[in-house]
Amino acid sequence: MNYMDIKRCDIANGTGVRTSLFVSGCTHHCKGCFNQDTWDFNAGKPFTQKEIDTIIELCKPDHIVGLTLLGGEPLEFVNQQGLLPLLEQFKSTYPDKTIWCYTGYDFEKDVLDKMYYQWDFTHKFLSYLDVLVDGEFVEEKKVLDLRFRGSTNQRILDVPKSLAAKKAVLWDEKGRYF
């Protein structure tokens, strides 16, 4: 897996101050995407244990409340596999910090009905996530002041509750991940 960028302090992609990882590779190619340079799976640099160690260290301060995965597309086949070691080490080191993930895939149609059963690592991958922002960016539904998303079709999901219910459960902004 390759990655494009690691942002030390990010306040736009989840609650609080977070560290964000932008992965390379995306097959959605959404019209109006703000990050088209991440579409190419070969763009950027290889994601290795060195980058995992860097992210773990960047998340050490108390003011960093968690990690956000975006890109590109974190739920692409190769990216899920590449991110699993990071997720495992992050949750082991910081069990109380949250992990947010952005995906262009639809939670029910693509993730639960396909990936969850076709790829044995998806179940484990999802088990580390607290919040998932799902749905492709749709330029015609773009609203500039939406919180933590770019278009009105995108949803902010509570992953543990969604997995338990086997359907999308919207994140409660006043809930435990705020």
Place of tokens 């995992």: 52
Beta bridge partners of 157: 132, 170
The confidence score (pLDDT) of residue 175 equals 60
Express each pLDDT in 5-25 by its tens digit: 999 999 999 999 999 999 999
pLDDT reading at 126 higher than 70: yes
Q: Can you give the pTM of this predicted structure?
A: 0.94
Nearest to 157 by CA among 167, 171, 146, 147: 171
Residue 39 and residue 29 in contact, taking contact as beta carbons nearer than 8 Å: yes
Mean residue pLDDT across the chain: 94
- Between these two residues, 158 and 176, which has the higher pLDDT value? 158
Confidence of residue 164 (pLDDT cuts 50, 70, 90): very high
Bridge-based pairing of strands 17-23 and 64-71 is parallel
- Mean pLDDT across the stretch 153-159? 96
Residue 81, pLDDT > 60, answer: yes
Q: How far apart are alpha carbons 41 and 79 in whole angstroms?
A: 9
β-pairing, 131-134 with 98-102? Answer: parallel
